[in-house]
A and B are shown apart, each in its own frame.
Chain A
Amino acid sequence: DAMVIQNPRYQVTQFGKPVTLSCSQTLNHNVMYWYQQKSSQAPKLLFHYYDKDFNNEADTPDNFQSRRPNTSFCFLDIRSPGLGDAAMYLCATSRDGLAGGKETQYFGPGTRLLVL
């Protein structure tokens, strides 16, 4: 089945130790998104890739970076995780980002990050 895959499902890191979360998709979608979701809150968009174009949200901290080496993969790098970065990180895709808000976003199962 075509899907959005996130690895690992759970990640434990130490305060200040860089960590990378991975997302892959078999949908061949053009757009990939990273969301941060804290407990009992709505997902918050961090950034998205429209093909190779990187689009950062204005309030996304510099501590968060992303890479998209090809259509299928996208990575979230947290350079120096703080305790406040503990959250669920959701990856999502949409087909081509051209439908002006109509496109369905397909979400992966998320990676829960714990910072010790």
Chain B
Amino acid sequence: AQSVTQPDIHITVSEGASLELRCNYSYGATPYLFWYVQSPGQGLQLLLKYFSGDTLVQGIKGFEAEFKRSQSSFNLRKPSVHWSDAAEYFCAVGARAAGNKLTFGGGTRVLVKP
């Protein structure tokens, strides 16, 4: 069965600084990987996804993520954080089985300091 680990529960970053959120997955085949963001009291919004091909994927809001098969990682990055990036970020892996289920990591809460 697939699993996703986000080692950092909380991260605090200054506005304008760079951000990197870690995600490690366990899956027997080529994974389908997603990053979602959840602003307080809101649903989840897709930032980006990786299925195959170029291992560096670009997403919305200036985010990018890099798939590294050798490290079983799919880390999310942003070069310069804005106050509006304060949110919870979830990494997820998509299952190949019917129903298109997602397995989420535990999430990383990002706080942005002025």
How many B residues have CB within 8 A of the partner chain? 27
> Of A42, A101, A109, which is in contact with the most chain B CB atoms at under 10 Å from its CB?
A101
Interface residues on A, range: 20 to 34
Kindly provide the distance from the CB of A43 to the nearest chain B CB, expressed in whole angstroms: 6
A24-43: CB near B (< 8 Å → 1, else 0) gives 00000001000000001111
Chain B residues near A100: list those with CB within 8 A.
32, 94, 96-97, 100
Task: Check if B109 is an interface residue, CB within 8 A of chain A.
Answer: yes
Kindly provide the distance from the CB of B94 to the nearest chain A CB, expressed in whole angstroms: 3
Q: Is the CB of A110 within 8 A of B42?
A: yes
Task: Check if B25 is an interface residue, CB within 8 A of chain A.
Answer: no
Once A4-B43, A43-B44, A90-B43 are accepted as A-B contacts, the answer to whether A105 and B102 lie under 8 Å apart by CB is: yes
Kindly provide the distance from the CB of B64 to the nearest chain A CB, expressed in whole angstroms: 17
Q: Is the CB of A107 within 8 A of B45?
A: yes
Q: A88: nearest residue on chain B (CB-CB)?
A: B41
Chain B residues near A106: list those with CB within 8 A.
46
Q: Is the CB of A94 within 8 A of B44?
A: no
Chain B residues close to A by CB (< 8 Å):
32, 34, 36, 41-46, 49, 51, 90, 93-102, 104-107, 109
The 5 A-B residue pairs whose C-beta atoms are closest, nearest first, are A101-B94, A107-B43, A42-B104, A100-B96, A107-B44
Chain A residues close to B by CB (< 8 Å):
4, 6, 31, 40-43, 45, 48, 50, 55, 90, 92, 94, 97-110, 112
